């Protein structure tokens, strides 16, 4: 699994490709933790984190847990974590878990 990070003002976009299995979920957890709990105090809190799953081929229950955990953390900070462009495989996992409507960015 690879994760590329784009930063624009108060938002982050994480481009995730490959399998979000147990190991991938741990890597995603570490990156989100670094973004939300930085060691530098001069780093602003993000208002929105977009997790682009267009190139992700698998989303495990561990990956779902990480996404939900940080979605709650962002809501507590008056921000949001949204899934953008889920691949068919990840969209199906989100739907089965009942999280699709809660986490997937709605296009205007």
Q: Give the pTM.
A: 0.91
Question: What pLDDT score does 106 carry?
Answer: 81
Q: Which CATH number fits domain 2-103: 3.30.750.24, 3.40.250.10, 3.40.190.10, 3.40.50.450?
A: 3.30.750.24
Helix, strand, coil share (%) of the chain residues, nearest 5 = 40, 30, 25
Extract the runs of DSSP E, i.e. beta strands, from the chain: 2-8, 11-20, 48-59, 80-84
Give the model's pLDDT for residue 108.
41
pLDDT 10s digits, 36-60: 988 777 777 799 999 999 999 999 9
Q: Are 89 and 55 in contact (CB under 8 A)?
A: no
In tens, the pLDDT along 51-89 reads: 999 999 999 999 999 999 999 999 999 999 999 999 999
């Amino acid at each position: 699994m690879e994760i590329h990070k784009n930063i624009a003002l108060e938002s982050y976009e994480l481009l995730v490709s490959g399998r979000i299995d147990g190991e991938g979920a741990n890597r995603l957890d570490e990156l989100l933790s670094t973004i939300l709990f930085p060691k530098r105090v001069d780093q602003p809190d993000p208002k929105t984190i977009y997790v682009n799953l267009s190139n992700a081929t698998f989303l495990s229950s561990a990956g779902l847990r990480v996404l939900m955990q940080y979605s709650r953390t962002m809501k507590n900070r008056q921000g949001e974590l949204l899934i953008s462009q889920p691949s068919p495989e990840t969209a199906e996992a989100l739907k089965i878990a009942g999280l699709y409507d809660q986490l997937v960015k709605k296009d205007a």
